[in-house]
Amino acid sequence: MTNCGRYCCQVMAIVKAISRPLWTKSRKKITMSNVGVIGLGYVGLTTALGLASLGHTVTGYDTDHNLIHKLSEGDVLIHEEGLQSALEELSSLSRVRFIRKASEFLGADVEFFFICVPTPQSQTGHADLRFVFSAIKELSAVASKNSVIVLKSSVPFGAGARLVSALARPDVFVASSPEFLREGSALRDFMNPDRILVGSESESASRRVLGLFDGLDAPKIVTTKEATELIKYSSNAYLAMRLSFVNDLAHLCEKTGVSFRHVAEGMGTDSRIGSEFLSPGPGWGGSCFPKDTSALLSVASEFGVSLPLVEATVRANSQAIYRSVETIRQLAGGSLLGKTIGVWGLAFKAGTDDIRESPALKVIGQLLGEGCEVKAYDPVATAALGEGYRQVNSALEAVAGAHVLAVLTEWQEFAEIIPSCVADAMAVSNIFDARGILPANLWKPAVESLRSTGEG
């Protein structure tokens, strides 16, 4: 058998060996490439393992030496489904390795460098690009001729041009390929993308980048760097706008006594609306929506354009968080002073341990400000919130003696808890299910029966 044939068998064996339920689609044969990934957080590590699972040889680099040590030992430090098993498989097949210094890229004949470093929001609302510029500077010294630097990190409109001049390597191409990964399902989203987007001044460089993803059957779009930047920010701002609308509508349903579940079902069956992203919450959060809505507003203001709907989306989200506090206050009898509130959920959404910009923490912060005690439980996330706050180790411990239970993150385990166990533990059975995940057919009777016996 020829080397190529042996190699293609190896690639197919890799994809077959690691294609667990997470990765359900068959893959075409691909041309293997050497890829470098800079920044190994949830986007970077997912990108590194995703590209390796497609058959490429991947070298991951991060300035956090402890992280590199752990990854080289086969340990994933973040809570993301499928990453641990993928790391174990791909490391054993020598498809992925990790380095401590960018200089180790020299001589590795890397053709593509993915920049996946954080672009946190600065005080002014603009994206802070210092990590991106630092990565570009390091690559300027080690990138091989004719290689392509691919920006995965969200960068503001027009930043690509500044990065090209900072790179100062006319023999190296720069492309932008924003990620659309959701925390909690990042690897699944990588292997099953709705689209793959690449923008660059050089169409051939864009085509080369797209070639890396030949194994994935998804629409592949080649456009300009600026367009990819606007697509990323606009997609997230649009999703956030949808959620602000959902949360406002859920509030109206609560006041009118109409089941929001029924309204969402009736709306979602319209193919133009779709049934995803119609679940209410105490507000939306995470490391992307708040940052990307703010970044889009910053871009617009730089060009003298107002985006009233995006502005209203952000305002409505603050309102949703305030309304959640107001609902809990009402359930506690009109004042939170001296009351005990049991909270289920700290993470900004289920499936992750990430508490960045978590609406649950924003609600808890406002509750504590009104003088109540908060006992919170989350299956994986942790948070230390100071006086009056205690994180406990079980859902029932969080409600023991509580006046109100607030469900703020949609972990499935909360929906599986037996209502009577909760009702028995609580001082009063007042429940605010901000996520609408508790089965109404079980919880409504349980709470009402206690209320009717005067215990609730």
User: Among all residues, which ones are annotated catalytic?
Assistant: 288
Is 277 among the residues that bind ligand UDX (CB under 6 A)? yes
Nearest to ligand UDX of 133, 277 (CB atom): 277
Binding to ligand UDX in span 185-244, by CB under 6 A: 236, 239, 243
Residues binding ligand UDX: number (CB under 6 A): 20
The β-bridge partners of 115 are: 38, 151
State how far the alpha carbon of 189 is from the alpha carbons of 179, 181, 268, 438, in Å: 9, 5, 22, 27
Q: Which amino acid is at 136?
A: I
How far apart (Å, rounded) are the C-alpha atoms in residues 364 and 381?
A: 14
Nearest to ligand UDX of 213, 284 (CB atom): 284
How far apart (Å, rounded) are the C-alpha atoms in residues 80 and 45?
A: 10
48 φ, ψ (degrees, to nearest 5): -60, -50
Among 348, 377, 414, 432, binds ligand UDX (CB under 6 A): 348
How far apart (Å, rounded) are the C-alpha atoms in residues 376 and 357?
A: 17
Among 55, 60, 118, 281, binds ligand UDX (CB under 6 A): 281
- DSSP class of residue 121? B
Q: Which of 268, 59, 280, 291 is nearest to 178 (CA)?
A: 291
How far apart (Å, rounded) are the C-alpha atoms in residues 409 and 428?
A: 21
Contact between 395 and 370 under an 8 Å Cβ cutoff? The reply is: no
Report in angstroms how near the CB of residue 168 gets to ligand UDX at its nearest: 30
Binding to ligand UDX in span 233-252, by CB under 6 A: 236, 239, 243
Is 91 among the residues that bind ligand UDX (CB under 6 A)? no
Query: What value, to the nearest 5°, has the Cα angle with vertex 80 and ends 313 and 197?
Result: 60
Give the containing element (helix H, strand E) for 112.
Answer: strand 112-115
Is 179 among the residues that bind ligand UDX (CB under 6 A)? yes
350 φ, ψ (degrees, to nearest 5): -70, 155
Report in angstroms how near the CB of residue 293 gets to ligand UDX at its nearest: 11
Binding mask 353-392 for ligand UDX (x = CB under 6 A): ------x---------------------------------
Among 46, 147, 244, 279, binds ligand UDX (CB under 6 A): 279
How far apart (Å, rounded) are the C-alpha atoms in residues 379 and 411?
A: 8
Among 173, 284, 344, 414, binds ligand UDX (CB under 6 A): 284
User: 438's torsion region: left (phi>0), alpha (psi -120 to 50) or beta?
Assistant: beta
Binding to ligand UDX in span 285-344, by CB under 6 A: 285-286, 288-289
**Contact region with ligand UDX (CB under 6 A), list: 3-11, 122-130, 135-143, 180-188:** 180-188
Report in angstroms how near the CB of residue 179 gets to ligand UDX at its nearest: 5
How far apart (Å, rounded) are the C-alpha atoms in residues 128 and 187?
A: 26
Report in angstroms how near the CB of residue 45 gets to ligand UDX at its nearest: 14
**Contact region with ligand UDX (CB under 6 A), list: 75-83, 123-131, 273-281, 421-429:** 273-281
Report in angstroms how near the CB of residue 155 gets to ligand UDX at its nearest: 14
Nearest to ligand UDX of 179, 229 (CB atom): 179
Interface positions with ligand UDX (CB under 6 A): 179-183, 236, 239, 243, 277-279, 281, 284-286, 288-289, 348-349, 359
